[in-house]
Structure 1
Amino acid sequence: MESDNLETRRRYREPVAEVDSEAYFEAYRDLLEAYPAADTGRDHYKTSIEYLQEIAEFGFGTEPEAFVEHLREKHSNRPAFLDELEPAGY
């Protein structure tokens, strides 16, 4: 949970999320919020969306959807990111 690396968090997702899924969701969400701005390009944005889809798997009601809307507003100056959200169902 102390890692600032999304890939590390992804690797330990199942065992950590089983223990405290809410804390995992919050920590993952905090890192993911800045991720789309860390780089540009559709491949980077597609990776961002893969992470979003993973947190949606935990079934936090509407929280993941609200988070995606927050990202959509925060990164509204990144049209390629917004384009990539559409085919992913966001």
Structure 2
Amino acid sequence: MEPVRIPSRIDDPVHVLLWSLDELAPMFCGLILGMAIGQATIGFLVGLMVTNFYRRYRDTHPDGYLLHIVYWAGFVFTKARSMVNPYVRRYLP
């Protein structure tokens, strides 16, 4: 059996140039909305600022923190029986 080399960053998100895919989404959304209103440069700059704030927020919190906030706010919809309703804040025995 031959040893297999496993990359050290196998779980990292996809990167395009300098940004990961989740950082590119606000820039593209800002660009598309800017093109829709006729101000593509302003939309792209707003998307770039949102990406900068998102990167700062993501780097100062643990992995999955934003997903927990989204779940806690009740925006995750699933039919799984094992997930608890996020609106139930207190459990009684």
TM-score by length of 1: 0.26
Between Structure 1 and Structure 2, which shows a larger proportion of strand residues? Answer: 2
Between Structure 1 and Structure 2, which shows a larger proportion of helix residues? Answer: 1
The structure with more radius of gyration:
2
TM-score by length of 2: 0.26
